[in-house]
Structure 1
Amino acid sequence: MLDDLSCCPNQSAKQSKWKGQRSFRIRAAYSSIQGIPCRKKESSQIQSGIAKGVTLLSPCIVVSGLYNATTMNFWQQLEKPFLAVAPMADVTDAAFRRLIAKYSEFPGRSDVVMWTEFVAADGLVRATPEGKEKLMADLIYTDEERPIVAQLFSSTPEHMEYAAKLCLELGFDGIDINMGCPDRSIEKQGCGSAMIKTPDVALEVIAAAKRGAKSEKGGIPVSVKTRLGYLEDEVETWIPTLLRAAPAALTIHARTRKDMSKVPARWERIARVVELRDALSPDTKIIGNGDVLSQADAAQKLAACGADGAMVGRALFGNPWFFHPTKRVPLKLLALPTHGVNRDEIIVADKSEVGVKYVSMEERLRVMVEHSYLFAELLPFKSFATMKKHYKAYVHGFPGAAQLRARLMEEGNSPDKVEVVVLDFIAEINN
């Protein structure tokens, strides 16, 4: 029985027991951002603001006490090996990150790192006030998500410096620069994986981020996320270029831009990146990324390549428990692209961890509804249809899942409707 999923059918969204607690930081998404220049006289205003150390935040933007990350490099405090939440557009938003922190029990841990979605530094500088408000919503976070890294992208050093300064004042623990996104709209701006083709610009952007991330107390660390290369493996040329810039951490998606995510990740190449790191920038943390299916799988990959940490992407879909010390969603119940890993191997991987407790179908559905309410609360100006990619992941691997998914795709256009559909499903299977 799903006793804790019972509530009055006429209960409003504001009253629902699944609705997440309201964060005082939500105001950050809707407040005007003083100090960020408009298009007119843009360059001179940027330089003037940076030179004067202008305050980028409006007084009405509420960010609870700035974290002491401004006086430390948190990367040096992490346990090894550690795990990281991959920055994924329209996935690792404020709502899902909050659930991951809650159900994976983040607070107080030093073996996990949270990433935001990537945010356009150019937009933080040049967008209309309304556009800036929406971008700021991508930077909402809670202390329970720490350590948390804000990921930015830009090919304009001045914009990167300005955005890094903003993230410093917002209290983030670190800043990451996206140099791996293969999306064509991002590449047309000279950003993402396109930066692999312009290493000189990449170095200028890293230097700019470091300038913006500095403070009187030391500032926050700057890291980079990239790929093995663009059309082919460029580990021997591209990676040394980045390492000479001494980023605090370097995340390697073990595929080229040409590969996208269509071929298995080549973790053996990350072992070579580790060797280059040891020779060129010993303090840089190396994080492997690509096809990480479980904690046990991450441990196996890290043991083989010698990296400091593993970043988890698509395995998080429908699975905010991924980083929990003992709770697991069985891999065979997740809709994962496994690039040829057969069902028997997945079942063996599930059984390789001792002492774990599996998350029930009922709990997965309860958290899915909670996720829906939290998304609507924190991100009301985003299309609720974004949630449907999550429904496909939560609702998988149990009897009746296909029928429930179909109803959610058709009727799940608001948290209230999702709640009703789930309650109807539970009532049907319990009769």
Structure 2
Amino acid sequence: MNTHSTIRKAARLSVAPMMDWSDRHCRYFHRLMSRHALLYTEMVTAPALVRGGAVHLLDYNAEEHPVAVQLGGSDPKELAAATKLCVERGYDEVNLNVGCPSDRVQSGTFGAVLMRDPTLVADCMAAMKDAAQSIEVTVKCRIGVDDQSPEEVLPDFLEKVSAAGVERFTIHARKAWLKGLSPKENRDIPPLDYPLVHSMKDAFPHLHLSINGGITSLDEARAHFDVMDGVMIGRAAYHDPGNTLLGADQAIFGETTPAPTAHEVVEAMYPYIEARLAEGVRLHAITRHMLGLFTGRPGARKWRRILSEGATRPGAGVALVEEALSSVPEHAPVD
């Protein structure tokens, strides 16, 4: 089991929990590009685990470590029970979602709507901490919601929730608008406020704080390290992993061994693909996460087309991926 210090080191660069994207196949693929970055699951709701018995949602591959599970919920007892299930399955961290603005999440009284009730979040985190034993519990939040003043709300939230024993937060540097904007619009329209998030590190120097939102490259990530303890990358790590994860171990974690090439990463996926196909997984469920690997390189369009058109066909397997890979010159420069 990884220690708090090991996970905090990994949290220097993390890949965000992303619904329908950061599943176990995606995480395995990302792990081949970075040995050190902290990977997060999609959000798993506490009711689904505790009341629904859907513990299969916690399945992952041992190679994914360090890996954190994100829970959604607002009932302290239920979140504690869900946390215990996560601990039993060997996760390195349990995170509470206080940032998702979707209607489905709001109807369950969790996600970003909890920014309005830091006392409840503190109660939830205290219960999760008791259940987590030696595993660290953390929070991913927004800077505020709707008409709240982030300059007032965010420090109050951090103060009250950290008093429950939470020492690590990831802050998405945008407000969430719970009415009038879709989840997709909530990722783009509310303006980013990096200076406010940076100022939280001055106000709470004892907390480990990561920043999230709009960060699209390793260079942009490094620009935050003068102030912040960590950076979380979301969509860019999914749509352009070659630019955000390949080389991350060297640029962020000081690794001295050369980074793998994109071709080597694809070839390293072959045994995993074979094993999952033997379990009945469809090829598309895996390769859909790999489409952006060659973004900006010659052959990228053909790579995407071959996989997109062929991976859903019955019997599609590694041979299709090999065909797609042959369309991308191995040593072609990135545009």
TM-score by length of 1: 0.62
Rounded Cα–Cα distance in structure 1 between residues aligned with 2:328 and 2:84: 53
1:247-280: CA deviations, max 9, x gaps? 12010011111361114632112112213323xx
Corresponding residue of 1:297: 220
Q: CA deviation at 1:206?
A: 1.5
CA contact (8 A) 2:277 2:283 kept: yes
Q: Alpha carbons of 1:360 and 1:115: their partners in 2 closer, same or farther (altered >3 Å)?
A: closer
- Which residue identity does 1:293 align to in structure 2? T
The 5 Å alignment of 1:8-87 reads 67=1, 69=2, 73-74=4-5, 78-79=8-9, 82-87=12-17
Q: CA deviation at 1:101?
A: 2.8
Corresponding residue of 2:233: 312
Rounded Cα–Cα distance in structure 2 between residues aligned with 1:148 and 1:81: 10
In the alignment of these two chains, the number of paired residues is 312
Query: Within the alignment, does 1:408 sit opposite 2:307 as a pair?
Result: yes
SS in 1 for 2:291: helix
Query: Within the alignment, does 1:125 sit opposite 2:50 as a pair?
Result: yes
Q: Alpha carbons of 1:323 and 1:122: their partners in 2 closer, same or farther (altered >3 Å)?
A: farther
Rounded Cα–Cα distance in structure 2 between residues aligned with 1:93 and 1:408: 19
Corresponding residue of 1:23: none
TM-score by length of 2: 0.78
- Which residue identity does 1:117 align to in structure 2? E
* Bigger mean CA deviation after superposition, 157-166 or 201-210: 201-210
CA RMSD of aligned residues (A): 3.4
- Which residue identity does 2:136 align to in structure 1? P
Corresponding residue of 2:249: 325
Q: Alpha carbons of 1:428 and 1:166: their partners in 2 closer, same or farther (altered >3 Å)?
A: closer
CA contact (8 A) 1:151 1:175 kept: yes
1:135-167: CA deviations, max 9, x gaps? 232xx242x544432211111111101011222
Query: Within the alignment, does 1:248 sit opposite 2:170 as a pair?
Result: no
CA contact (8 A) 1:365 1:395 kept: no
Rounded Cα–Cα distance in structure 2 between residues aligned with 1:324 and 1:415: 36
Query: Within the alignment, does 1:95 sit opposite 2:14 as a pair?
Result: no
Rounded Cα–Cα distance in structure 1 between residues aligned with 2:146 and 2:15: 26
Unaligned runs of 5+ in 1: 1-66, 107-111, 329-354
1:49-91: CA deviations, max 9, x gaps? xxxxxxxxxxxxxxxxxx2x5xx5337x745982122112232
Rounded Cα–Cα distance in structure 2 between residues aligned with 1:237 and 1:102: 39
CA contact (8 A) 2:246 2:260 kept: no
CA contact (8 A) 1:97 1:145 kept: yes
CA contact (8 A) 2:303 2:328 kept: no
SS in 2 for 1:151: strand
Unaligned runs of 5+ in 2: 178-184, 330-335
CA contact (8 A) 1:203 1:242 kept: no
CA contact (8 A) 1:90 1:386 kept: no
Rounded Cα–Cα distance in structure 2 between residues aligned with 1:165 and 1:421: 41
CA contact (8 A) 2:97 2:141 kept: yes
Corresponding residue of 2:332: none
CA contact (8 A) 1:286 1:308 kept: yes
- Which residue identity does 1:260 align to in structure 2? N
The 5 Å alignment of 1:3-402 reads 67=1, 69=2, 73-74=4-5, 78-79=8-9, 82-106=12-36, 112-127=37-52, 129=53, 132-137=54-59, 140-142=60-62, 144-214=63-133, 219-232=134-147, 233-246=149-162, 247-258=166-177, 260-263=186-189, 265-278=192-205, 282=206, 284-303=207-226, 306-317=227-238, 319=241, 321-322=245-246, 324-326=248-250, 362-363=263-264, 365-366=266-267, 372-373=273-274, 376=277, 380=280, 385-387=284-286, 389-402=288-301
Q: Alpha carbons of 1:395 and 1:418: their partners in 2 closer, same or farther (altered >3 Å)?
A: farther
Rounded Cα–Cα distance in structure 2 between residues aligned with 1:73 and 1:426: 39
SS in 2 for 1:325: helix
CA contact (8 A) 2:249 2:259 kept: no
Rounded Cα–Cα distance in structure 2 between residues aligned with 1:370 and 1:416: 16
CA contact (8 A) 2:29 2:269 kept: no
SS in 2 for 1:255: coil
Rounded Cα–Cα distance in structure 2 between residues aligned with 1:121 and 1:412: 33
